[in-house]
């Protein structure tokens, strides 16, 4: 468990940001602009929809991500969402979910700041989180990654009542010590998760592993599912 820290809010002319005042002493919209000289931004090569950067600053190493749409709807609007209030923005919602998970001791990056920019009935958004050092995506670690360790991280997330909206082979990271980290909780939420809902989440990962590694990915997922089931059975007998 980490010591909870209440975030602060900074308003600016066309929006606002919510931030961790322990990590950020000098907050401002510049934190979400990859062109800011002080951030030394470098584009993330894998994932991110060309809208994520590795950055650095007073907070140390971070990952900046702008929210972008995918699929057919992106042809209508690439980065604008319907305004339903500040707490409902993609950035603030993800920031608060990450804050809950981080404070609970779950293996997620520390949320540093989140922002939105409103224009009429729509808004754009971005989030800044701590960068986890020395990690690689599960997609490239199937030969060395341990299914039991990954299963334990996912099980702990589910036990905390967190649904991951895009549990795939690139949103699960492994570090040099073999620890599993979970990232990208956009559209995630908290609720009591039934066994069926948990399995649906795992099936999303199955599709991803099958896509990136074919039969090897499917074999890896089947072992992970067995490890997950053992954890659930052990919990049921406590």
Let me know if 166 is a catalytic residue: yes
Calculate the alpha carbon distances from 99 to 14, 92, 96, 194, 236 in Å. Answer: 25, 10, 5, 23, 28
- H or E stretch covering 95: helix 90-103
Short-list 21, 51, 55, CA closest to 36: 55
Please report the beta strands in 90-225, taking only residues with DSSP state E, as ranges in sequence order: 111-119, 122-130, 136-137, 162-163, 172-174, 180-182, 189-190
The CA angle 121-126-128, to the nearest 5 degrees, is 155
Q: Which entry of 26, 87, 166, 175 is annotated as an active-site residue?
A: 166
Cβ 93 vs Cβ 58: under 8 Å = no
- H or E stretch covering 131: none
Phi, then psi, of 74 in degrees rounded to 5: -65, -20
Catalytic residue ranges: 166
């Amino acid at each position: 468990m980490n010591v909870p820290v209440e975030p602060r809010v900074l308003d600016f002319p066309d929006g606002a940001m919510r931030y961790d005042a322990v990590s950020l002493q000098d907050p401002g919209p510049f934190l979400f602009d990859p062109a800011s000289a002080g951030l030394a931004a470098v584009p993330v090569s894998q994932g991110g929809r060309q809208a994520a950067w590795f950055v650095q600053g007073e907070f140390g190493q971070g990952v900046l991500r702008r929210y972008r749409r995918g699929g057919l709807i992106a042809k209508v609007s690439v980065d604008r969402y319907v305004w339903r209030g500040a707490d409902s923005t993609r950035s603030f919602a993800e920031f608060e979910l990450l804050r809950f998970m981080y404070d609970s001791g779950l293996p997620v990056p520390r949320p540093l700041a989140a922002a939105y920019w409103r224009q009429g009935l729509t808004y754009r958004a971005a989030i800044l989180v701590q960068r986890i050092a020395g990690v690689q995506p599960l997609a490239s670690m199937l030969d060395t990654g341990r299914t039991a360790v990954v299963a334990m991280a996912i099980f702990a997330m589910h036990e905390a009542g967190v649904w991951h909206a895009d549990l795939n082979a690139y949103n699960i990271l492994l570090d040099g010590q073999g620890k599993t980290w979970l990232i990208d909780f956009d559209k995630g939420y908290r609720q009591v998760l039934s066994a069926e809902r948990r399995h649906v989440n795992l099936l999303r990962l199955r599709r991803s592993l099958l896509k990136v590694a074919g039969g090897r990915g499917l074999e890896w997922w089947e072992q992970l599912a067995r490890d997950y089931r053992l954890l659930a059975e052990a919990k049921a007998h406590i």
